[in-house]
Amino acid sequence: MLFNQLTGSSNSIRSLYGPVRQTAAAARARMVATAARRWRLAPESLSVRAGVVHGPGGREASYASLARAAAAGRTEKLNGPQTAVKPQSEHSLVGVPTSRVDARAIVTGRQRYTLDLDVPGAKPTTVRRPPTLNGTVRAVRNEAAVRAMPGVLDVAAIETGVAVVAETFGQALEGKDALEVDWGKGTVDGLSDEDVRTKLRAATPPLAVPPVLTRHVDAEFDFAFVSHAPLETNSAVADVREDRATIWSGLKSPIVALQTIAAELGLPQEKVTVHVVQGGGSFGRRLFFDAALEAARVSQKCGRPVRLMWSRIDDMRHGRMRPATHHKIRATYALGNVLTFEHRVAAVETDFRHGLGEILTANAAKLPVAGNASLAQSLFLTTVKSPYDFGVTTQLLNEVPLRMPTASWRSVYSANTRGAEEIVVDELAARCGQDPVAFRRAFLKSARQRAVLDKAAEDGEWGRELPEGCAQGVGFHEEYKSRTACLVEIDARDPRKPRVTKAVIAVDAGLPVNPRGLEAQMLGGLTDAISTTLRAGLHLDEGLPLEGSYSQFHYARQHDSPREVRVHVLPAERGAEPGGAGELGVPAAVGAIANAYARATGTRPRSFPVNFDVDFDPFPR
Residue 325 lies in a domain: yes
pLDDT at 11 over 80: no
Rg, the chain, Cα only = 27
pLDDT at 576 over 90: no
Check which CATH number belongs to the domain holding 250 and give it: 3.30.365.10
Is there a single domain that holds both residue 297 and residue 367?
A: no
Q: From residue 327, give the alpha-carbon distance in Å to each of 236, 347, 604.
A: 37, 9, 15
Is there a single domain that holds both residue 22 and residue 162?
A: no
The string of pLDDT tens digits covering residues 193-223 is: 999 999 999 999 999 988 777 899 999 999 9
The string of pLDDT tens digits covering residues 92-107 is: 888 899 998 999 999 9
Residue 397 lies in a domain: yes
Is there a single domain that holds both residue 140 and residue 82?
A: no
pLDDT at 2 over 50: no
Residue 82 lies in a domain: yes
Q: CA-to-CA distance for 451 and 508, rounded, in angstroms?
A: 9
The string of pLDDT tens digits covering residues 416-467 is: 999 999 999 999 999 999 999 999 999 999 999 999 999 999 999 999 999 9
Is there a single domain that holds both residue 296 and residue 326?
A: no
Around Cβ 523, how many Cβ atoms within 10 Å? Answer: 16
**Residue 97 in contact with residue 90, Cβ under 8 Å?**
no
* pLDDT of amino acid 3: 46
pLDDT at 553 over 60: yes
Q: Return the HEC string of 417-467.
A: HHHHHHHHHHHHHHHCCCCHHHHHHHHECCHHHHHHHHHHHHHCCCCCCCC
Which of 309, 336, 356 marks a domain boundary?
A: 309
Residue 193 lies in a domain: no
pLDDT at 356 over 70: no
The string of pLDDT tens digits covering residues 463-486 is: 999 999 999 999 999 998 999 999
The string of pLDDT tens digits covering residues 132-166 is: 999 999 999 999 999 999 999 999 999 999 999 99
Residue 569 lies in a domain: yes
- pLDDT-based confidence at 88, cuts 50/70/90? confident
What is the pTM assigned to this prediction?
A: 0.91
Greater confidence, 213 or 289?
Answer: 289
Compute the average pLDDT of residues 536-552: 97
Is there a single domain that holds both residue 293 and residue 175?
A: yes
Strand-strand pairing, 226-227 and 321-322: antiparallel
Compute the average pLDDT of residues 372-384: 76
Would you list the DSSP string of 504-573? EEEEE-BS-S-HHHHHHHHHHHHHHHHHHHHT--B-EETTEES--STTTS----GGGS-SEEEEEEPPPP
Would you list the DSSP string of 392-415? EEEEEEEEE-----B---TTTTHH
Element (H, E) at 375: helix 371-383
CA 512 to chain centroid, in Å, comes to: 20
Residue 342 lies in a domain: yes
Is there a single domain that holds both residue 397 and residue 337?
A: yes
Greater confidence, 4 or 374?
Answer: 374
| Neighbouring residues of 49: CB distance < 8 A, sequence distance ≥ 6 | none
Greater confidence, 75 or 334?
Answer: 334
Is there a single domain that holds both residue 374 and residue 457?
A: yes
Q: Which of 14-28, 566-580, 607-621 is predicted most confidently? A: 607-621
* pLDDT of amino acid 351: 87
The total domain count for the chain is 3
Is there a single domain that holds both residue 440 and residue 506?
A: yes
Is there a single domain that holds both residue 78 and residue 127?
A: no
* pLDDT, averaged across the chain: 91
Q: CA-to-CA distance for 529 and 536, rounded, in angstroms?
A: 9
Which of 57, 90, 123 marks a domain boundary?
A: 90
Is there a single domain that holds both residue 474 and residue 582?
A: yes
Q: CA-to-CA distance for 379 and 384, rounded, in angstroms?
A: 8
Domain residue limits at 129: 114-186+234-309
Q: CA-to-CA distance for 467 and 479, rounded, in angstroms?
A: 35
Is there a single domain that holds both residue 431 and residue 524?
A: yes
Residue 616 lies in a domain: no
pLDDT at 616 over 90: yes
DSSP-assigned beta bridge partners for residue 53: 48, 61
pLDDT at 66 over 50: yes
Compute the average pLDDT of residues 29-40: 91
Which of 309, 333, 363 marks a domain boundary?
A: 309
Residue 338 lies in a domain: yes
Compute the average pLDDT of residues 26-35: 89
Is there a single domain that holds both residue 238 and residue 274?
A: yes
* pLDDT of amino acid 357: 44
Whether a cis peptide bond, with omega within 30° of 0, leads into 205 is no
* pLDDT of amino acid 76: 60
